[in-house]
């Protein structure tokens, strides 16, 4: 199929989504999202953690009701589950006590289809997806790829207008995922494929370019659409083709595009909520800087990912962290080492720790917040729970813990502060925080 201008199947109209945090405060996940999905197209929702991709997909499925705005299916507002949609999950979501055939029949049984017709339709779907001969097998007897095939068959047997997929290949090994993506493209090209449109959530740029007619890029905190890119390459798509690589670079630039120029004169004015810490260790950041330094200070991210046999999106948190700290600049899919980045890469361990501490305190808002609290405390210590309570006002409990763990990791390396697991207290390092009160530095 080609890019469609057919009937509008899904109309997402100014949708916002908020949830209540642990302290009773609203947590906004999506804000002012507008999107239409037409008959005859595959659309990929692309974004990193916190962009609300899966939340938006569940709103389209009718599993979550928007806090504001509206989702319409064929012009009618959704007031419950979407009657024209079926979903494929990342975790397979199979019933382990049911056979392959029984799992595929589940949706049909819920619709009240008689057993004979259910059996005929299920067997046809199983055959279509390449699992003929495994009808009586149980999920524990199947590989991950075969279990996901069952998930596809269970969705397709319903002949949905809209196939919704939530990172369906991310739990599979690289070769199995590539094989299933290729088979999905082949099924989509057949005249009797029962589905009119596909909406897939992914964080994998190359996967989005390989599958989609249109890539919708979401920004985070809260989730919102920052760009749409039409993919006009004919299928099947060759990852090595210059056009494919250029599109990946374009989307990478849109996904990461922001002003990352180092500001040495003034500290970053961001807050821990507006500028969360990327999930990256100090060692991982250093490893990336070394690779860019070895490439004469400028490197193409897709090339680095390919050389390391990683997906491009696996490197994004490291790139974000290095850019946040002022060690790298991002420019149209390339990363450039700043002077500070070159200095920390070539310095001895003591100097590199000092550079890291200076940049983290200046440019990482949560690290700066912890340092400020320690300086203002009576004894140079603060309970970690204090920061967790504050962070839960803008993050889930899990993300709040993750943010604090990253800040502690960075602060420890820079010798700004330490954390005692037994007491649950963060303690200032007098050597790192030179502006501590004199009575604390003496201790």
- Could you please report the per-residue DSSP string of 221-269? TTBEEEEEEE--PPSSPPTTSHHHHHHHHHHHHHHH-S------SS---
On whether residue 120 sits in a domain, the answer given is: yes
Domain tally for the chain?
A: 3
Enter the tokens of residue 61.
């499925």
SS3 content of the chain, % helix, strand, coil (to 5): 40, 20, 40
> Which structural domain, as residue segments, surrounds residue 286?
282-345
CATH number at residue 371: 1.10.10
> Against a cut of 0.75, is the pTM above it?
no
Query: Are residues 325 and 437 both part of a single domain?
Result: no
Query: Are residues 188 and 305 both part of a single domain?
Result: no
**Of 427, 419, 416, the residue nearest 377 (C-alpha):** 427
Residue in the structure block whose two tokens are 């990256």: 280
On whether residue 269 sits in a domain, the answer given is: no
pLDDT of residue 60: 94
Among the ranges 86-95, 133-142, 174-183, which has the highest mean pLDDT value?
133-142
Query: Are residues 379 and 414 both part of a single domain?
Result: yes
439 vs 412, higher pLDDT: 412
- How far apart CA 372 and CA 129 sit, in angstroms, is 58
Q: What is the DSSP letter of 140?
A: G
Contact between 262 and 338 under an 8 Å Cβ cutoff? The reply is: yes
Q: For 338-396, how does the pLDDT look when each residue is reduced to its tens digit (9 = 90+)? A: 999 999 999 999 999 999 999 999 999 999 999 999 888 888 899 999 999 988 887 77
- How far apart CA 193 and CA 300 sit, in angstroms, is 38
Domain endpoint, select from 328, 345, 362? 345
On whether residue 140 sits in a domain, the answer given is: yes
pLDDT of residue 436: 54
- How far apart CA 325 and CA 22 sit, in angstroms, is 31
- How far apart CA 38 and CA 5 sit, in angstroms, is 6
Contact between 149 and 130 under an 8 Å Cβ cutoff? The reply is: yes
- How far apart CA 327 and CA 320 sit, in angstroms, is 10
pLDDT of residue 41: 94
Q: How deeply is 13 buried, as exposed, middle or buried, from its count of CB atoms within 10 A (0-12, 13-18, 19+)?
A: middle
Query: Are residues 325 and 358 both part of a single domain?
Result: no
Largest CA distance in the chain: 83
Query: Are residues 287 and 421 both part of a single domain?
Result: no
Contact between 236 and 185 under an 8 Å Cβ cutoff? The reply is: yes
Enter the tokens of residue 56.
């938006």
On whether residue 323 sits in a domain, the answer given is: yes
Handedness of CA 244, 245, 248, 254 (dihedral sign): negative
- How far apart CA 399 and CA 198 sit, in angstroms, is 30
Q: What is the DSSP letter of 274?
A: T
Domain endpoint, select from 345, 362, 380? 345
Query: Are residues 76 and 112 both part of a single domain?
Result: yes
On whether residue 126 sits in a domain, the answer given is: yes
Strand 197-202: give its sheet, edge to edge: 85-88, 162-166, 197-202, 42-46, 214-219, 224-230
Average pLDDT on 204-223 reads 89
**Phi, psi dihedral angles at 77 (to 5 degrees):** -60, 140
**Of 8, 9, 14, 10, the residue nearest 66 (C-alpha):** 14
CATH number at residue 308: 1.10.10.10
Query: Are residues 164 and 305 both part of a single domain?
Result: no
Judge whether residue 268 has pLDDT over 60.
no
On whether residue 3 sits in a domain, the answer given is: no
Q: What is the DSSP letter of 279?
A: S
Q: For 293-310, how does the pLDDT look when each residue is reduced to its tens digit (9 = 90+)? A: 998 998 887 778 777 767
């Amino acid at each position: 199929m080609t890019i469609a201008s057919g009937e509008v199947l899904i109309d997402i109209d100014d949708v916002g989504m908020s949830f209540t945090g642990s302290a009773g405060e609203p947590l906004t996940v999506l804000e002012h999202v507008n999107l239409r999905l037409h008959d005859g197209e595959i659309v990929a929702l692309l974004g990193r953690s916190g962009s609300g991709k899966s939340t938006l997909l569940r709103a389209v499925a009718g599993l979550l009701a928007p806090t504001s705005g509206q989702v319409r299916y064929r012009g009618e507002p959704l007031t419950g589950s979407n009657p024209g949609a079926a979903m494929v999950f990342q975790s397979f979501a199979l019933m382990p006590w049911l056979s392959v055939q029984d799992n595929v029949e589940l949706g049909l049984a819920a619709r009240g289809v008689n057993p004979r017709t259910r059996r005929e339709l299920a067997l046809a779907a199983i055959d279509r997806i390449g699992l003929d001969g495994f009808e009586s097998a149980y999920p524990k007897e199947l590989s991950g790829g075969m279990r996901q095939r069952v998930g596809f068959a269970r969705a397709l047997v319903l002949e949905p207008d809209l196939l919704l997929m939530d990172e369906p290949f991310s739990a599979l090994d690289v070769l199995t995922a590539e094989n299933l993506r290729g088979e999905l493209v082949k099924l989509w090209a057949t005249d009797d494929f029962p589905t009119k449109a596909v909406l897939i959530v992914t964080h994998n740029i190359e996967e989005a370019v390989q599958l989609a007619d249109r890539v919708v890029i979401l920004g985070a905190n809260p989730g919102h659409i920052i760009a749409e890119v039409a993919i006009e390459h004919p299928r099947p798509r060759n990852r090595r083709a210059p056009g494919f690589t250029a599109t990946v670079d374009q989307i990478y630039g849109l996904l990461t595009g922001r002003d990352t120029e180092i500001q040495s004169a003034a500290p970053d004015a961001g807050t821990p909520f507006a500028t969360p810490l990327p999930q990256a260790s100090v060692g991982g950041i250093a490893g990336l800087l070394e690779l860019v330094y070895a490439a004469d200070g400028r490197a193409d991210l897709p090339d680095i990912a390919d050389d390391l046999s990683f997906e491009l999106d696996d490197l994004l948190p490291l790139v974000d962290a290095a850019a946040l700290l002022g060690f790298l600049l991002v420019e149209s899919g390339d990363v450039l080492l700043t002077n500070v980045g070159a200095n920390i890469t070539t310095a001895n361990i003591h100097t590199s720790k000092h550079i890291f501490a200076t940049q983290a305190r200046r440019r990482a808002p949560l690290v700066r917040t912890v340092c400020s609290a320690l300086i203002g405390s009576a004894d140079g210590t603060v309970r970690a729970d204090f920061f967790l309570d504050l962070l839960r006002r803008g993050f889930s409990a899990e993300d709040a813990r993750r943010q604090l763990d990253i800040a502690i990791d960075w602060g420890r390396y820079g010798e700004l502060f330490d954390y005692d697991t037994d007491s649950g207290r963060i303690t200032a390092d007098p050597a790192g925080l030179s502006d501590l009160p004199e009575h604390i530095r003496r201790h």
